Structure formats: C-alpha cells, structure tokens
Amino acid sequence: MKKGIVKLLVLLLITMLVFTGCSANDTPSKEEGTVTNGSQSSEQNVPEEVVFDIGISQLADHPALDDARRGFEDGLKELGVNANIHYQNSQGDIPTSLTIAEKFVKDKVDLIYAIATPAAQSAKQATSDIPIIFSAVTDPVDAELVDSMESPGGNVTGTSDLTPMDRQLQLFKDLDSNIKKVGIVFNTSEPNSQIQVDMAKELAPSIDLEIVEVGISNINDIPQALDSIMKKVDAIYTITDNMVASAINVVSEKAIANKMITVGAEDSHVKDGILVTDGLSYYELGRQSAAMAKEILVDGKSPANIPSATSENTKKAFNGETLKVLELDENNPALQGAEKVQ
C-alpha cells in the first residue's frame, strides 16, 4: 500500500514538472526583450528607453530665445528623444552663463544646448568633451565656436540665426519707394549685432538705402536712442539683437507713433508690433537644432562632423494692427504670401 502511494506521488511530481517547464518556455523572462547599451535582444527586439540629461543655457528672457528653446524641446519629442531637461537662464549676465555651463559639466550632462552667442562661448570655455549645440548665433566662426560652418571641429556645432538681410532691406523700398534712410539701434557689446550692422551698411547702397546706426550699452538707453535716431531716418530696421529684442514693444510703439515703417529680422518682432518680416522663425531654428542633438545622442555622430547650419525655413509675416494704424494697403505686393499676425 505504501509503495503504491509513493509511486502515485512520484507520478504527480513528474507531471507538475512537465507543465511548469512548458509554462516557462511560453513566457519570456525579464531578461529577454531588454536592451543593454543601445543594443536589442535577438528574441524580442524591444528597445530599452534611454533618457538623456540635457542642459539648456539661455542668455536672457525674450520671445526669440524662448522660441528657440521651445522649438528644441518640441523637436526632441517629435524625434522620440527622451530627455531630462535642465534649464537655466543667466538673465543677460555673461559670468552667470559660465557658472551655469560649469555646473552642467560637473553634473555630467550628456549634451548642452546653448542659446545665444555668450551662452555658447561660456559652454565651450567650460568643456571640450561634452557635446554642445548652439542656436541664435549669427556668426559661429567669428565667435570662435567652430572652425568653419562646413567642418566645425571639436565638440561644438549648431544653428545660426543669420537672416536673409537683402530681402528684408528690399521690403522698405517695396513698401515705400521714398524711403532713403533706415535706422538701426543695437547693443555695442553684442558682437553679433555689430556684424549685422556692418552687413546692412554693405548691402544698403545696392538697394538705394543708407543705414544710420546708434549704439547702446543698456536697455534703459533704448527710448532716448530711438527718439534721437527717428529724427534722422525714414524707417526702422530691427536686427536680431538680444537687448533690443527685450524691449521690442518700445521700438514698435515709438515707430507707430511716428508713422514709421518697420521691418524686423524675425517673426517674434512682428508679434510685438513691428510691421513686417521676411525672416527666420526661432522656433523652427530650435527644431533644427534638436535634429542635430538626435544625431549626436542617438546616432552617435560627433559634433565635429555635423555641419553648422543657417535656418532651413524662413517666414514672411506682417502685423495687421500696425498696418492699419500706418494706413497701408494689405494688398501691397510686398505683403504677398505673408501671414497676417493680429
């Protein structure tokens, strides 16, 4: 009797082992389907979710630079790049931008996105190892961020906000052929701004225009500078100057009060009252920068081998309210194809 019970127990144990083995073969283990160092399991091909640490260093608060940041963050999401964003703003203080960059290096972020020339220069000074993507930099070569646009070299590349200035200056003549003198207010401490002033002065004669510039060193100087220059010119051109952009509403209000045509270098100027632009979108520039970040972080490319680039997409826009106040015709050929803002 006891032997029969023992045989029965053995039979039951064997049966249980067989069914357990079948169950184990039908259900993948936790190890199957995971990814290590970016590779995929040959069994399940389920990618591991890699999260990158990205430090964003922005020079100052104003719509253009904010758009460059938003475009970058949205671009990363669109491209499926998962990232922890560590955002810092130096509020226009260059020493602070260096402190921010050094903190990112200490924290060992995977990439630094630097918005505006001083922020990019600070990031480059802080590290030669961590990849750096810049944006809102007019001349990366002159700023000594890259060796050349085609072959950046080192750990830095990015997107330039150099605008189609010839088309923008032509808008003055297209809107009013009587315009002769165009005024530019710019920050004398911002190298990018001086570069643009020089470019405008070089291009202007071929369009039968003369550039009259006035330099400022403090944002509080803008109202007085505008009052001074508006006595000497027929219209105002707002370049991509960080200090002026921070007070662009002051520029537009004074120009409107003086019934002056204004042309801006980029679309955020128009949103704040500048009449028209045929220029870049900083949001799109940010998205373009995100594509470079993806090449570095996901595809494993070196910044040295990713050419720096200017904006791939430009945008023509005009401010409907400003147009109305200036009593200009919305059907003017100069505004053909432009998006109406407000």
pLDDT at residue 11 in the model: 46
Domain-embedded: residue 87: yes
Residues 107, 202: one domain? no
pLDDT at residue 154 in the model: 96
Rounded Cα distance between 238 and 215, Å, is 13
pLDDT at residue 203 in the model: 97
Domain-embedded: residue 321: yes
Domain-embedded: residue 218: yes
Rounded Cα distance between 165 and 263, Å, is 10
Place of tokens 């990018």: 192
Rounded Cα distance between 308 and 6, Å, is 79
Q: Determine the structural domain holding residue 88 and report its residue range.
A: 52-161+282-313
pLDDT at residue 12 in the model: 47
318 closest CA partner among 271, 260, 265, 253:
271
pLDDT at residue 16 in the model: 46
Burial of 267 (0-12, 13-18, 19+ CB in 10 A): buried
Residues 222, 290: one domain? no
Query: What is the H or E stretch that residue 298 is in?
Result: none
CATH, residue 305: 3.40.50.2300
114 closest CA partner among 132, 130, 140, 98:
132
pLDDT at residue 313 in the model: 77
Q: What is the dihedral of CA 285, 287, 277, 94, to 10 degrees?
A: -40
Where b means 16+ CB within 10 Å and e means fewer, 237-250 reads bbbbbbbbbbbbeb
Helix (H, G, I), strand (E, B) or coil at 216: strand
Tally the domains of the chain.
2
Residues 180, 83: one domain? no
Domain-embedded: residue 273: yes
Residues 156, 299: one domain? yes
Query: pLDDT tens digits, the chain, 342 residues: what are they?
Result: 444 444 444 444 444 444 444 443 333 332 333 223 333 333 333 345 799 999 999 999 988 899 999 999 999 999 999 999 999 999 999 999 999 999 999 999 999 999 999 999 999 999 999 999 999 999 999 999 999 999 999 999 999 999 899 999 999 999 999 999 999 999 999 888 999 999 999 999 999 999 999 999 999 999 999 999 999 999 999 999 989 998 999 999 999 999 999 999 988 899 999 999 998 889 999 999 999 999 999 999 999 999 999 988 788 999 999 999 999 999 999 999 999 997
CA quadruple 74, 79, 80, 84: dihedral sign: negative
Domain-embedded: residue 109: yes
Residues 274, 328: one domain? yes
Rounded Cα distance between 156 and 134, Å, is 7
Cross-strand bridge partners of residue 182: 211, 235
Residues 88, 222: one domain? no
Domain-embedded: residue 8: no
Residues 182, 68: one domain? no
Rounded Cα distance between 145 and 339, Å, is 34
Domain-embedded: residue 3: no
Residues 320, 331: one domain? yes
pTM equals 0.76
Rounded Cα distance between 45 and 84, Å, is 25
pLDDT at residue 225 in the model: 97
**DSSP-derived secondary structure letter, 303:** G
Domain-embedded: residue 27: no
Residues 81, 64: one domain? yes
**Token representation of residue 142:** 């002159």
Residues 276, 220: one domain? yes
Residue 90 backbone dihedrals phi, psi, to 5 degrees: -85, 0
pLDDT at residue 48 in the model: 52
pLDDT at residue 46 in the model: 32
Residues 265, 228: one domain? yes
Residues 213, 320: one domain? yes
